[in-house]
Amino acid sequence: MGAAGKSLRGHGQHRKAASPRLHLKDSCYGRPPHPICIRRGQLYWPRNARNGRHQFRVVRTLTDGHAQVRRTDGAGQPISVSTVRLLAVDEHGDGNFYRFMGWTPGRYRTWVCAAGYDREGEMLVLVLPEWHPRRPVLVLKQSLPFAVTGPGEWMIATADLSAPYPARLKLAILSPYRDPGRTVCPAPAWRRTEC
């Protein structure tokens, strides 16, 4: 008598599901907008075949207006790409030459803005504009290492910006901070009516 599942594909062995992994864009808030500055760990996809059709990540920024990038499949040497071309967007805010795909997994130092309170006033609504400027992250007011007096206050934190939803961010608020400005950080755009 044959073993159970022997005639199945893979001989009944467990295998990973064929579903793609969750992504930040898979929510009602849509895709995060194209970045306004280049940071290590960002992922991009070339929009035309002339540049090759391979996703790459930013390894580091160079002082001559270029960024050193490497293909995510590990093939090939790092290459230099113009930061002007990486950041160029069309009238809809989409990348002209490269599509922003997200971040490689890892902890990043990032800015956090207090956007408001939940309806009961127990939870503070935070926005991480580099992760997604419209998506709220709820935290208990008492869990912060310092007092936040209200909306509009900025903080510095570490978080995994590749997370598909807030619970996976591994958010750690470090200290109060000044508004970094719109040249390096997008404006928070959370509205209570969304979703």
Please give the mean pLDDT across all residues of the chain: 85
Distance of CA 138 to the CA centre of its chain: 17
Q: Are strands 154-160 and 137-140 parallel, antiparallel or unpaired?
A: unpaired
What pLDDT, on a 0 to 100 scale, did the predictor assign at position 148? 87
162 or 118, greater pLDDT: 162
* 107-177 maps to CATH 2.40.50: yes
Residue 192 clears pLDDT 90, i.e. is over it: no
SS3 state at 166: helix
pLDDT band with cut points at 50, 70 and 90 for residue 98: very high
* Residue 194 tokens, joined: 């969304």
Global model pTM greater than 0.75: yes
Low-confidence winner among 8-12, 35-39, 66-70, 138-142 (lowest mean pLDDT): 8-12
Residue 161 clears pLDDT 80, i.e. is over it: yes
Residues 32 and 128: their CA atoms lie apart, in Å, by: 11
126 to 109, 137, 141, 191: CA distances (angstroms): 15, 5, 11, 12
Judging by beta carbons within 10 Å of its beta carbon (0-12, 13-18, 19+), is residue 28 exposed, middle or buried? exposed
What pLDDT, on a 0 to 100 scale, did the predictor assign at position 121? 72
SS3 state at 100: strand
What pLDDT, on a 0 to 100 scale, did the predictor assign at position 122? 80
Domain(s) labelled CATH 2.40.50 in the chain stretch across 107-177
pLDDT band with cut points at 50, 70 and 90 for residue 74: confident
Alpha-carbon torsion 44, 47, 52, 53, what sign? positive
Residue 31 clears pLDDT 90, i.e. is over it: no
